[in-house]
Amino acid sequence: MASQLTFCGVRRILARHLPVLMFLLVAFPSRAQQLPEFDGQSAFTFLYRQVALGPRVAESDAHAQAVAMYRDWFERAGAQVHLQTFPATIHTQPSLASPTRQVKGENVIARFGEGAPELLLCAHYDSRPWADEDPDSANRAIPVPGANDGASGVAVLLELARLFSENPAPVTVEIVLFDLEDAGIGGSDASWALGSQYYALNYSGPAPRGGVLLDMIGDSDLHIQKEYFSVSYASKWTDMIFELAAETDAWAFDPSLGQAVYDDHVPLLKAGIPMVDLIDFDYPYWHTLQDVPAACSPESLEQIGRVLVHLIYSSALR
C-alpha cells in the first residue's frame, strides 16, 4: 500500500506541475543541447587540403595558396580578416653555421565578433623547410609535408570558423594562424616562432582573457600533457582547459606535467596573455617526410575541437 500511495502521489505532482516543467525544458534547454557539434571528419578534410597544396614553406607557391585559402574561408565564415606581413631572417639549412636569407612572413588574423578579442585561438601553418629528423639522410634537405606539425591545428580552427558562421560565438574570438614557427635552428630559441614573436610585439589593446595554441594535435595516438611553460605562466588557465577536457571525456588529455616546449605560446605568455599549448610532442614522424595525413586521425581532431566548443559556448568564459 505504501508503494501504491507513493506512486499515486508522484503522479498527482507530475500532473499538477508538468506544464511548468515542459515550459522550462523548452525555454532553457540543457547545456549539451545548446552546444554545436564539432565535426572531426570535416576538420580532417581541411588537414588533407592543406597537405595537398605541398609544404607551406615561406614564399613558395603552396604557402601563397594556403594563405589565399585561409583568407577566403574566414571571410566566407563572416570574420574580419587581416594579413599581418613581417620581415624575417631564416637559415638556409638546419644549422646555425649556415647562411641566412631574408623572407616575408604572413600571419593570418581572423576576428569573429566586435570589440577586443576575449579569446585567442592559434596554430602555425608553415611547414618545416627540411626533414632533418628523417631516418633516411637522403631526405633531410626536403621540406616536410606538415600534416600533424602545422596542418592539424589549423584544421581544427578552420572547422571552428565554420561553426561560428552557423552558431555565432557568445564571445569575441580572434583566430591567428602563425607563419615561420618551424624554420628554427636547434640551440637558438629566438630562431623559432617568428610569426608569434612579431604578433606579440605588435599586439595592442586589452589582453584577451586567455588563449589556446594548437600544435601537433592530429596524431592518431594522441596524448596531451600539461606543457611546462603553460603551467608555469598560466596555471589557472591551463587547469581550466584540462578540467573541460575531463568533463567532455577527451581521453587523450593527461593532467600530468609534461616537458617544456618553446612554441608560439611563449612570446604571447611573455606579453602577458595567458596561454595553454596543447601539443603532443611525442610524435614519431616529427620533422620527417612521414608526417602525412595517414599518421593523423579525425578522432584526435574531434577531441580537441570538442573541448574548444565547450570553452567557447559554455559558461566557462562568462
Task: Please report which confidence band the pLDDT of residue 16 belongs to, taking 50, 70 and 90 as the band edges.
Answer: low
- The string of pLDDT tens digits covering residues 293-315 is 999 999 999 999 999 999 999 87
Looking at residue 116, what DSSP letter applies? S
Mean pLDDT, residues 241-261: 97
Say what the pLDDT of residue 315 is: 74
Helices then strands, counting H and E runs in the chain, come out as: 10, 8
Say what the pLDDT of residue 268 is: 98
- 35-317 folds as Aminopeptidase (3.40.630)
Say what the pLDDT of residue 2 is: 40
Question: H helices of 28-90, where?
Answer: 31-34, 40-53, 61-76
Q: What average pLDDT does the structure give for the chain? A: 91
Mean pLDDT, residues 2-31: 42
Mean pLDDT, residues 214-223: 98
Task: Please report which confidence band the pLDDT of residue 31 belongs to, taking 50, 70 and 90 as the band edges.
Answer: very low
Domain boundaries, the chain: 1-30, 35-317
Mean pLDDT, residues 199-217: 96
Please check the confidence at residue 260 and state whether its pLDDT lies above 60.
yes
Mean pLDDT, residues 47-70: 98
